[in-house]
Amino acid sequence: MSGRICIVTGATSGIGLEIAGILAQKGEQVIGIGRDRERCARACAEVRAQAPGAKVTFETADLSSLAEIRAVARRICRAVDRVDVLVNNAGTFTVRRHVTPDGLETQLAVNWLAGFALTGLLLRKLCAAPRGRVVTVSSGSHFAGRMHWDDIQLSRRYNGLKAYDQSKLATVLFTRELARRLGASSTVSAYAVDPGLVRTRIGAKGGGRLVRLVWGIRARKGIQPRQAAQAVSYCALDERVEGKSGLYWKECAVVQPSCRAADLLDSLRLWELGEVLSGVRYPEAKQMRRQRRVYSTPHMPDPHLPRSQPHSPV
């Protein structure tokens, strides 16, 4: 199927910009999200130039703000009758502890909570697609991460890497729990993707000169953003990922995430925390499994559309 409606967060630079380009070149409709209006305009022009004739638009929203996440979700819900693909790609790294307008530690807020909230707010539209997909860009850094339940916002002992690792572990736990709640027969699937080490500026944006220098040296060993974007786009579009919801992917293959990412209690606890912090309430798991009835809307495609193989349990 082509002409899918795809949303890509953090589409103004790095991997997200390349994902937007790849999806547009494949004939999909792309709605990019970025935090800065001018950068959105530049990225939009760049993606359109790569894929003349493609339907590409950008929305401005700072995903560290829950109010802006709600506002952009509302705009998207008004603009489209379904969302085929949501790529939760936006991410940030900050050496020093920053707090969002909602009083949350920024890396946790942008890297995990924004994806959690946006997915929840767009779930109805994802369910209205014949095959909705939520692709969340995670990281191999999650292997070093753990959930610091006694101080989840690291307000006592902040360390930039510790915060990043925790936020990326949260994205894997989120993906797994989302798939579990949706259930094996859901039309919506969720994937976490590790893009590998990639030559972008992520590590240079949130620190001083020394951090930029260290990241610059490290990033030189990384792959090009286009290559990373291809692996993410694979989970967004390829038929071969059907039936593998909730899993963790690298280089277009399922790989084992850390043991901590398989902790069911942590994923339940994190889910509850996500709902409390964001104020976005998902339907109960039982209801989510009956999503076709729960989300029945006049725009919905035929509920008797053929289904692929049932998703494997996660």
Ligand X SMILES: NC(=O)c1ccc[n+]([C@@H]2O[C@H](COP(=O)([O-])OP(=O)(O)OC[C@H]3O[C@@H](n4cnc5c(N)ncnc54)[C@H](OP(=O)(O)O)[C@@H]3O)[C@@H](O)[C@H]2O)c1
Q: What are the strands, taking DSSP E only, across 195-305? A: 248-250, 253-255
Nearest-angstrom CA–CA distance, 178 and 268? 10
By CB under 6 A, is residue 110 in contact with ligand X?
Answer: yes
Q: Taking the complex as a whole, how short is the minimal distance between the CB of residue 173 and ligand X, in angstroms?
A: 15
Helices then strands (H, E): number in the chain? 12, 8
Range in contact with ligand X (rule: CB under 6 A) among 126-134, 193-201, 260-268, 291-299: 193-201
CB of 298 to ligand X, least distance (A): 32
Which of the residues 218 through 277 are near ligand X (CB under 6 A)? 222
In the bound complex, what is the minimum distance in angstroms from residue 260's beta carbon to ligand X? 17
Residue 248 Cβ, how far from ligand X at the closest point, in Å? 12
The residue annotated as part of the active site, out of 158, 164, 191, 282, is 164
The smaller minimum CB distance to ligand X, of residues 209 and 221, is found at: 221
Whether 164 is catalytic: yes
CB of 99 closer than 8 Å to CB of 106: yes
- Judged by CB under 6 A, which of 21, 91, 206, 274 binds ligand X? 91
Q: Tell me the site size for ligand X, rule CB under 6 A.
A: 28
Among 172, 180, 217, smallest CA distance to 197 is for: 217
Regarding 206 and contact with ligand X (CB under 6 A), the answer is no
* Residue 140 one-letter amino acid: G
Pairing of strands 253-255, 248-250: antiparallel
Give the shortest CB-110-to-ligand X separation in angstroms: 5
Does position 160 bind ligand X by CB under 6 A?
no
Of 83, 90, 117, 172, the one binding ligand X (CB under 6 A) is: 90
* 105 contacts 160 by C-beta, under 8 angstroms: no
The three-state secondary structure class of 6 is strand
Euclidean distance between CA atoms 122 and 104, whole angstroms = 22
Binder to ligand X among 41, 77, 197, 262 (CB under 6 A)? 197
3-class DSSP state of 190? strand
Q: Please name which of 134, 132, 163, 142 lies closest in space to residue 8, comparing C-alpha atoms.
A: 134
Paired tokens of 306: 């053929």
Binding span for ligand X by CB under 6 A among 89-97, 125-133, 235-243, 252-260 = 89-97
Residue window 119-138: x/- pattern of binding to ligand X, with contact defined by CB under 6 A: ------------------x-
- Per rule CB under 6 A, is residue 198 in the interface with ligand X? yes
Residue 191 to residues 65, 108, 188, Cα–Cα distance (Å): 24, 19, 10
The contacts of residue 267 (CB under 8 Å, 6+ apart) are 173, 174, 176, 177, 180
- Enumerate residues 30-59 that contact ligand X by CB under 6 A: 34-36, 39
Residues noted as catalytic: 164
Task: By CB under 6 A, name the binding residues for ligand X.
Answer: 10, 12-16, 34-36, 39, 62-64, 89-92, 110, 137, 139, 195, 197-198, 200-202, 205, 222
